[in-house]
């Protein structure tokens, strides 16, 4: 063992040298340094030995018979491929041109004759370090490539699942929704969901998760499940928001959350109800006046606050048929130019002001973004929903194929909801589920839910809370109405709404009688019903809707009690 230059690891060294004396001398030196030695007498043999034994380092004489060292070096380098097999030329040549030729042929270093043991050992060690470095680099490169493949595969799978979740519902089927989502927006955590409620209202969610790729997709699943599930069951925005917030708070790490705007558009009631937590302003576009009312973020994003602190208060805005709601992600406003200036809300307003054709708004915005930046960012989402009349009241889910024999047909149930319940509990989804046990009613579930929802909110708002629907005659009054509603509900400490359900079998099928009573002062039924139905009026929609959808509506007890009937024929 050479003590001057300690060997890290014994190498297999090939020595190619045509002079027997030099070969013996070199072999002895290299063996003494602790390495294994293979020998060759010319370039041809060197290539053969290399092919067979794969030595880790080569000492190569430059001038040899049959095949010289230069050609052998070229062939060995080619055989070695990506791995570094250092070749040190042994040469008595002195001219710089000849020495350069050694390196040009693929040599890594040269050693002049006569041999100096210490220099040789140091050079072998130095070359070994290089060889190891190269091996490590290759190994790490392959590892990174493997990890990258793996990651890309996972992302593809996650994106496929995410796309399915984010695009179920009615987002593509509804005639009144237009949206653009750049391909990466989806996987950058932007989420767009839409679904119909049992009464034909539409819920829309535009969300933006912190984080990208997998983490965002992981959060999107439960959010979408809650959204679709609760919307289909008839839950309102407040309950749905509470559930989404609680679920995200429970499963997401502290630094992850979801900015979101949730809308409920009702063509029947001509309103949009909005909750915005952390998204840029959306807009309600009053097409007749051109006015755009901003839908401002009033809340922390979903998944930040604990359930007790969560604020589910919504805002309600009137809409006429043909009016539009526009929502966007922060990718639009945060598009930056070359000087890191952001596009911002003011420039968006300018695009609004310049827009002549409402249907080309998205294109106008995209053009403005492209002009501002030179290219449009790859993570923008925009959605626009138009309020259209006559969304069909479709029945929810598949009808059972049995004849309805198993469904209960002769029963009654009564509920009394008192102040504390009225404040925060919405009994409608529960009641609807109960009534859908009657298979014959399922086809009418939309109408049933709409009627029940109208009568319940009349009993609560006009009865228990004493609100006058005439407040809603203009936009300001409309806002006042919903502000008063929230205030009075928060302070409520007495009063009740009772719901009585009677189900009776009939010769043809069955009949449901639904009676709703409230503790309010009642109202002059004849006077209210005599008011003309004005299509542009913001108030009074509820009652005309109820009268359209149910066969018989009767008030009693001075307007404090209302009764409707639904009947059905036995399924064939």
Partner 1 sequence: MPVESEVSLDGKKLTITVKGRFDFGKHQDFRNAYERFYKVPETYIVDLKETTYVDSSALGMLLLLRDHAGGDNAEVRVVNSNSDVRKILAISNFDKLFDIS
State the distance between the two ends of the chain, measured CA to CA, in whole angstroms.
99
Q: What is the rounded CA–CA span in Å between residue 206 and residue 95?
A: 75
Which member of 100, 130, 307, 342 binds partner 1 (CB under 8 A)? Answer: 342
Nearest distance, CB of residue 221 and partner 1, angstroms: 19
Q: Which is nearer to partner 1, 115 or 184 (CB)?
A: 184
For 70, other C-beta atoms within 10 Å of its C-beta total 19
Degrees (nearest 5) of the Cα angle 402, 406, 410?
A: 135
Nearest distance, CB of residue 344 and partner 1, angstroms: 9
Q: Which is nearer to partner 1, 208 or 273 (CB)?
A: 208
Residue 546 has phi, psi (to 5 degrees) of -60, -40
Nearest distance, CB of residue 209 and partner 1, angstroms: 8
Taking CB under 8 A as the criterion, which residues in 404-443 touch partner 1? none
Instruction: Show the beta-strand stretches assigned E in 411-526.
Output: 411-418, 496-505, 509-518
Residue 107, C-beta contacts closer than 8 angstroms, at least 6 positions apart: 60, 73, 87, 88, 89
In the stretch 186-225, what mask flags binding to partner 1 with x, by CB under 8 A? ----------------------x-xx--------------
How many amino acids of this chain bind partner 1 (CB under 8 A)? 24
Q: Are 540 and 422 in contact (CB under 8 A)?
A: no
Residue 234, C-beta contacts closer than 8 angstroms, at least 6 positions apart: 197, 198, 199, 428, 429, 432, 449, 453
Nearest distance, CB of residue 192 and partner 1, angstroms: 17
Q: Which is nearer to partner 1, 377 or 472 (CB)?
A: 377
Taking CB under 8 A as the criterion, which residues in 250-279 touch partner 1? 254-257, 259, 277-279
Which member of 9, 340, 375, 410 binds partner 1 (CB under 8 A)? Answer: 340
Nearest distance, CB of residue 225 and partner 1, angstroms: 23
Interface with partner 1, residue 185, by CB under 8 A: no
Across-strand partners of 420? Answer: none
Report the SS3 class of residue 425: coil
In the stretch 53-82, what mask flags binding to partner 1 with x, by CB under 8 A? ------------------------------
Taking CB under 8 A as the criterion, which residues in 343-382 touch partner 1? none
Q: Which is nearer to partner 1, 255 or 536 (CB)?
A: 255
Q: Which is nearer to partner 1, 299 or 462 (CB)?
A: 299
| Lookup: tokens for 517 | 């009573």
Nearest distance, CB of residue 458 and partner 1, angstroms: 33
In the stretch 278-317, what mask flags binding to partner 1 with x, by CB under 8 A? xxx----------------xxxxx--x-x--x--------
Q: Are 333 and 345 in contact (CB under 8 A)?
A: yes
| Sheet bearing 57-61, strands edge to edge | 36-40, 12-16, 57-61, 87-91, 109-112
Q: Which is nearer to partner 1, 215 or 222 (CB)?
A: 215
Per-residue burial over 180-212, b = 16 or more CB atoms within 10 Å of its CB, e = otherwise: bbbebbbbbbbbbbbbbbbbbbbbbbbbbbbbe
Nearest distance, CB of residue 273 and partner 1, angstroms: 19
| Lookup: tokens for 235 | 């839950």
Residue 510 has phi, psi (to 5 degrees) of -165, 170
Nearest distance, CB of residue 372 and partner 1, angstroms: 16
Mark the segment that binds partner 1 (CB under 8 A) among 249-257, 360-368, 401-409, 471-479: 249-257
Nearest distance, CB of residue 312 and partner 1, angstroms: 14
Residue 32, C-beta contacts closer than 8 angstroms, at least 6 positions apart: 1, 2
Report the SS3 class of residue 223: helix
Instruction: Show the beta-strand stretches assigned E in 322-476.
Output: 324-328, 381-386, 411-418
Degrees (nearest 5) of the Cα angle 160, 165, 170?
A: 125
Q: What is the rounded CA–CA span in Å between residue 234 and residue 197?
A: 6
Token look-up 């310049």 returns 354
Q: Which is nearer to partner 1, 167 or 298 (CB)?
A: 298
Nearest distance, CB of residue 247 and partner 1, angstroms: 17
Nearest distance, CB of residue 514 and partner 1, angstroms: 41
Nearest distance, CB of residue 411 and partner 1, angstroms: 48
Nearest distance, CB of residue 278 and partner 1, angstroms: 4
Q: Which is nearer to partner 1, 137 or 306 (CB)?
A: 306
- H/E/C letters for each residue in 345-378? HHHHHHHHHHCCCHHHHHHHHHHHHHHHHCCCCC
- Binding residues for partner 1, rule: CB under 8 A, are 208, 210-211, 254-257, 259, 277-280, 297-301, 304, 306, 309, 330, 334, 340, 342
């Amino acid at each position: 063992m050479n003590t001057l230059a300690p060997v890290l690891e014994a190498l297999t060294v090939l020595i190619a040298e045509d002079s027997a004396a030099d070969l013996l001398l070199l072999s002895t030196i290299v063996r003494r340094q602790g390495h294994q030695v293979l020998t060759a007498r010319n370039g041809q043999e060197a290539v053969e030995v290399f092919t067979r034994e794969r030595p880790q380092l080569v000492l190569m004489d430059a001038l040899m018979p049959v095949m010289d060292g230069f050609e052998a070096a070229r062939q060995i380098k080619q055989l070695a491929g990506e791995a570094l097999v250092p070749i040190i030329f042994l040469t008595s040549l002195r001219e710089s041109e000849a020495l350069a030729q050694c390196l040009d042929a693929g040599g890594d270093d040269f050693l002049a004759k006569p041999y100096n043991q210490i220099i040789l050992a140091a050079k072998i060690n130095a070359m070994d370090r290089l060889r190891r470095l190269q091996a490590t680099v290759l190994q790490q490169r392959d590892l990174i490539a493997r990890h990258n493949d793996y990651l890309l595969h996972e992302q593809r799978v996650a994106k496929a699942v995410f796309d399915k979740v984010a695009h179920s519902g009615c987002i593509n089927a509804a005639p009144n929704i237009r949206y653009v989502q750049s391909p990466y927006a989806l996987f950058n955590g932007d989420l767009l969901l839409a679904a119909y409620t049992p009464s034909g209202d539409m819920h829309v969610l535009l969300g933006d998760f912190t984080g990208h790729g997998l983490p965002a997709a992981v959060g999107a699943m439960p959010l979408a499940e809650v959204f679709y599930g609760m919307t289909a069951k008839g839950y309102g925005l407040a309950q749905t928001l509470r559930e989404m917030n609680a679920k995200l708070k429970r499963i997401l790490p502290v630094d992850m959350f979801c900015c979101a705007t949730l809308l409920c558009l009702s063509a029947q009631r001509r309103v949009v109800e909005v909750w915005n937590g952390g998204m840029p302003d959306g807009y309600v576009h009053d097409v007749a006046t051109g006015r755009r009312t901003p839908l401002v973020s009033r809340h922390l994003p979903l998944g930040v606050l604990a359930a007790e602190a969560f604020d589910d208060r919504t805002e309600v805005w009137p809409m006429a048929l043909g009016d539009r709601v526009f929502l966007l992600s922060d990718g639009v406003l945060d598009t930056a130019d070359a000087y890191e200036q952001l596009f911002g809300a003011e420039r968006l307003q300018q695009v609004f002001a310049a827009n002549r054709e409402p249907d080309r708004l998205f294109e106008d915005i995209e053009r403005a973004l492209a002009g501002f930046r030179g290219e449009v960012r790859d993570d923008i989402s925009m959605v626009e929903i138009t309020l259209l009349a006559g969304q069909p009241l479709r029945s929810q889910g598949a009808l059972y194929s049995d004849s309805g024999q198993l469904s209960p047909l002769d029963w009654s149930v009564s509920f009394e909801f008192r102040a504390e319940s009225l404040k925060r509990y919405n009994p409608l989804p529960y009641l609807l589920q109960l009534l859908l046990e009657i298979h014959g009613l399922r086809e009418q579930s939309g109408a049933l839910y709409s009627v029940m929802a109208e009568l319940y909110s009349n009993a609560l708002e006009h009865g228990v809370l004493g609100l006058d629907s005439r407040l809603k005659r203009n936009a300001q009054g409309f806002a006042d109405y919903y502000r008063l509603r929230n205030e009075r509900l928060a302070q409520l400490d007495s009063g009740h709404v009772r719901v009585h359900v009677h189900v009776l079998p009939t010769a043809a099928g069955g009949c449901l009688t639904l009676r709703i009573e409230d503790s309010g002062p009642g109202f002059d039924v004849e006077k209210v019903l005599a008011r003309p139905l004005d299509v542009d009026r913001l108030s009074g929609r509820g009652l005309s809707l109820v009268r359209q959808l149910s066969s018989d509506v009767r008030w009693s007890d001075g307007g404090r009690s209302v009764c409707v009937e639904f009947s059905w024929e036995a399924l064939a």
